[in-house]
Structure 1
Amino acid sequence: MLMIRLARVGARKQPYYRVVVIEKDRARNGRSIEVVGTYNPRTNPASIDLKRERIDYWTSKGAQFSDRVAKLVAQQPAAVAAA
């Protein structure tokens, strides 16, 4: 089963995340299939950069969101419409 979830990168106490498509039973930072975005919680407000067309493609193939990524995707259209 495929999941769209966060993979942590960045230095200690300075988190930065990649939004990745990955097999559900792989490790958090294991080999991913594709990077479909980034999330930086350290900026104010937090910066979210998602490739919506790739996310839509993978969800059509059966990939499911993790809880946190589902919230980020729900936030994203409002930010795009405001810009």
Structure 2
Amino acid sequence: MALKIRLARGGSKKRPYYQVVIADARSPRDGRFLEKVGSWNPMLAKDDAKRVELNNERIQHWLDNGAQPTDRVLRFLAEAGIAKRDARSNPEKGKPGKKALERAAEARQKAEAAAAAAAE
């Protein structure tokens, strides 16, 4: 049985509240789970202590027994110092696309032409 430490959504429409649960990977997102080990309330301020609450002892127990955290839960665990999350980098993400490069080159040519015309 593959276990996941993941989020189960609760709360009402447009007012999300999540429970951090231990669940079988095949069970539905809000379905059956084995144990509740924390909560996340994204509606609270980021510096609020009650925004993310984790039961560190139980989470460590489940990690030792092979449970795999999802990416979002791994971020919470890394902030709490329970697990280590490798930094991911995508150096291509911030670069402009082909069309943007073409527009920039065209604008540069127009600026150079205007400067040359003004110099004459």
Aligned pair partner of 1:58 in 58, 62, 79: 62
Aligned pair partner of 1:68 in 65, 72, 82: 72
**Distance in 2, Cα, partners of 1:9 & 1:64:** 22
TM-score (norm 2): 0.62
Query: Which runs of structure 2 are paired with 1:28-47 in the superposition (5 Å)?
Result: 28-45=29-46, 47=51
**Distance in 2, Cα, partners of 1:76 & 1:7:** 20
Contact 1:17-1:40 within 8 A present in 2 as well: yes
Contact 1:48-1:76 within 8 A present in 2 as well: no
SS at match of 2:76: helix
RMSD: 0.9
Q: Could you say which structure has the higher strand fraction?
A: 1
Count of matched residue pairs? 77
Which stretches in structure 2 are left out of the alignment for 5+ residues?
82-120
Q: Could you say which structure has the higher helix fraction?
A: 2
- Which has the higher relative contact order, 1 or 2, with Cα contacts under 8 A spaced 6 or more apart? 1
Q: What's 1:24 paired with?
A: 25
Which stretches in structure 1 are left out of the alignment for 5+ residues?
78-83
**Distance in 1, Cα, partners of 2:43 & 2:12:** 12
Give deviations 1:20-57, integer Å, cap 9, x for gaps. 00000110001100000000111111610000000000
SS at match of 2:72: helix
Q: What's 2:99 paired with?
A: none
